[in-house]
Amino acid sequence: MSIQGHEDDLRSERSYVAGLYARLDTERARVKAEYNSALRGRDGSPMEREFHVRALDKAAKRLDVADNGLCFGRLDTASGEHSYIGRIGIFDEKNEFEPLLLDWRAPASRAFYVATAANPENIRRRRQFHTRGRRVVDFTDEILGRPDGGEQVVGEDEDAALLAAVNAPRGDGMRDIVATIQAEQDGIIRLDHPGVVVIEGGPGTGKTVVALHRVAYLLYTQRERMERHGVLVVGPNPAFLNHIGRVLPSLGESAVVFTTTGDLVPGLRVTAEDTPQAMRDKGSLKILDVLAAAVADRQRLPEHPLSIDLADVTVRIDSETAQWARQEARESGLPHNAARTVFAEIITYVLTERAIARIGQGWLTRADREAWEQLRADLLAELAENDKFTAALDELWPVLTPETLLAELYSCPERLSAAGADPALLRADGDAWTVSDVPLLDELIDLLGRDKAADEAAERAAERERKAEAEYAAGVLDTLIKREDLNDDIGLLAKDMLYGEDLADRFVERDTRELVERAAADRDWTYRHVVVDEAQELSEMDWRVLMRRCPGRSFTVVGDLAQRRSVAGATSWDTMMEPYVPGRWLYRSLTVNYRTPAEIMTVAAALLAEFAPGVQPPESVRASGVQPWSRRVTEDELHTAIAEFVRDEADRDGTSVVIGPPGVPGTVMASETKGLEFDAVLVVEPERILADGPRGAAELYVALTRATQRLGVLHQGPLPQALTGLADNGTLAQAGKQP
């Protein structure tokens, strides 16, 4: 293509994209008008109207996010047809089957990401737009089968868009890659697999963003099925979730709950950390036997008969009676709290039989059935009001909560011993919860079951509250109507917006929270799909929790075994997946590093070879031309060097971080940066990071691979062997001043 031809094409593309934006604006205005009308509508029930309003709100949000990079490419087929690729689909209003813009997730868009010169997929040319706001500033063409004559292609560079994206300064959060998805990534995003997909990749391979785009793809292809239950995304820490939280909304998807493993039990607050041994014990499936034994230990037999004084007789709960009741309750198969009813029924049956026999001695026989049953009813009522009887039941078969049971187990050596637990679980503050306690508490919710009496009381209280709210709402509406009747100038009356019974119905009929709010607050909520990031850190018990959250076993699992730090984490994917989805999980790997430049990856790869010699490091897609550096400092110089790095990076575009071992002021631990990326990274005292715990090498590997542009190292002692190839930065005044 000649330069003049390029300019002509550019004007044409600008005009076409401007037309797409005009249609987007028209559609946005239409949806907004329908939304406003629906807010005032009276057709249908309140629930139907609420559903319609929410659907229009979602449609409006999808149109809003499409504004940024609406159209980013074009495909020309070998037969001369062409199609445009973008964030959403736009169709000709006169012919709804004629696409003016293809959604990037549509099957017809796949060639934009996977076509190559060797396999052109019937595509002659792939054109990628470079935009600023709504304007196309330029484009890059890639010819996949040059036309006869070998014409020149102006600006031809198949990696231009990708390199521009990976070289751009990092902002506060992860960006979507919808315009630059690579073939290796696209194959995973579009996988049609109903079970578990495990995506493993080294640092910077884009595994997280691929998993999020896979969620967007599944929501596009299975929207009705997926949106009813939503998607759960599990990450290692809140900073990571905040980092990735914009990706799915930028793709128009909002039916997603983001959480950490420590937040999987709603309302629980994690405040402590486990020792490595305690973490290992709690993460193993062997802890299930400990939990079952701890529950059984609370189902006790009396050491001495327990006397219950009734009006006409004293009865006793002896060990034999309690043992029979306990056996029947356990064999019922009910959770502990529900089985208490069986236990109590056996006890009351024995006590009432004995009491009737004593009270009726000499005058009452079973033949007098009516009198016998009347006396039994009187005794049952008396037992129900008897404090000693209630106390005896509480002693022998108490109603338990997961928190109470586990806290008392941890703080009592005798209970730990009775449950067969490792003494390493003993701690002074039993209810100082750790992340590893969460799956145990979740397990106990099912082992113990609900407290039926407490649930019924809560339901009665909630019903009283709903009725009070409905009466209040009706009163407010009546007041508004009376006021409006006195003022004829008001154009829109309250009664025009909502009938009184409708307002009351909204309180009674349904929960008006968004799906993600309801799901996040409900431990029993089940999701249609679950994404697990940094999955190598999850224990066997963590996986039990997540499998309960997704009965359909539809997962996208993301991780890197070489980066595992947790002593309870995965040593192989097979060990974690096979017990739950035997034969239903697929493994895919990502091999290209889009984050870490080759200069930095060379250093990280040397460390990887030392602690995981069988793992192949990902291949960097680019070199930055900036060599990573190191400098040896004294203890007095360390703080100054860190401050200079921070000050110098503040003058640059992008983000930076200082990573160090615990206790070094001005640094964060590597575990807090997992999954994150920064333009510049300063690693402080790597030798201490290596020495910190059994997985110190993995910690240092994570620290070294967070940088997209610049890496520096400050050390007081000798450099670890793998880092000796770093360039010596010389004097303190040069620290952090690499170009």
Give residue-wise pLDDT tens across range 196-234: 999 999 999 999 999 999 999 999 999 988 988 999 999
pLDDT of 155 reads 43
pLDDT tens digits for range 583-633 = 999 999 999 999 999 999 999 999 999 999 989 999 999 999 999 999 999
pLDDT tens digits for range 40-51 = 777 777 767 777
Average pLDDT over residues 647-655: 93
pLDDT of 733 reads 39
Q: How many CA atoms lie within 13 Å of 730's alpha carbon, on the beta-carbon side?
A: 6
Residue 413: pLDDT over 70: yes
Residue 563: pLDDT over 80: yes
Residue 134: pLDDT over 60: yes
Residue type, 338: A
pLDDT of 167 reads 74
Residue 487: pLDDT over 70: no
Residue 525: pLDDT over 80: yes
Split at pLDDT 50, 70, 90, the class of 677 is very high
Cα distance between residue 84 and residue 73, in whole Å: 6
Backbone φ and ψ of 231, nearest 5°: -125, 140
Residue 574: pLDDT over 80: yes
pLDDT of 734 reads 42
pTM of the model: 0.84
Residue 182: pLDDT over 50: yes
pLDDT of 52 reads 80
Q: What is the average pLDDT value for the chain, to the nearest integer?
A: 88
The one-character DSSP state at 718 is: P
Cα distance between residue 205 and residue 442, in whole Å: 33
What dihedral angle (degrees, nearest 10) is formed by the CA atoms of 601, 603, 608, 609?
120
Split at pLDDT 50, 70, 90, the class of 483 is low
pLDDT tens digits for range 528-560 = 999 999 999 999 999 999 999 999 999 999 999
Residue 476: pLDDT over 80: no
pLDDT of 509 reads 44
Query: Which span out of 238-247, 388-397, 477-486 was modeled with the highest average pLDDT?
Result: 388-397
Cα distance between residue 304 and residue 321, in whole Å: 12
Split at pLDDT 50, 70, 90, the class of 494 is very low
pLDDT of 506 reads 44
The rounded percent of the chain whose pLDDT value lies above 70 is: 87
Residue 679: pLDDT over 70: yes
Average pLDDT over residues 179-185: 92
For the residues of 599-640, what is the DSSP string, one character each?
A: HHHHHHHHHHHHH-TTPPPPEES---S---EEEE--HHHHHH
Cα distance between residue 335 and residue 322, in whole Å: 18
Other CB atoms within a 10 A radius of the CB of residue 556 amount to 27
Residue 121: pLDDT over 80: yes
Residue with tokens 């401050």: 643
Query: When comparing pLDDT for 158 and 473, which is higher?
Result: 473
Split at pLDDT 50, 70, 90, the class of 152 is very low
- Strand bridging mode 95-103 / 585-590: unpaired
491-518: b (≥16 Cβ within 10 Å) or e: eeebeeebebebbbbbbeeeeeeebbee
Residue 388: pLDDT over 60: yes
Could you tell me which of 261, 271, 244 has the C-alpha nearest to residue 433? 271
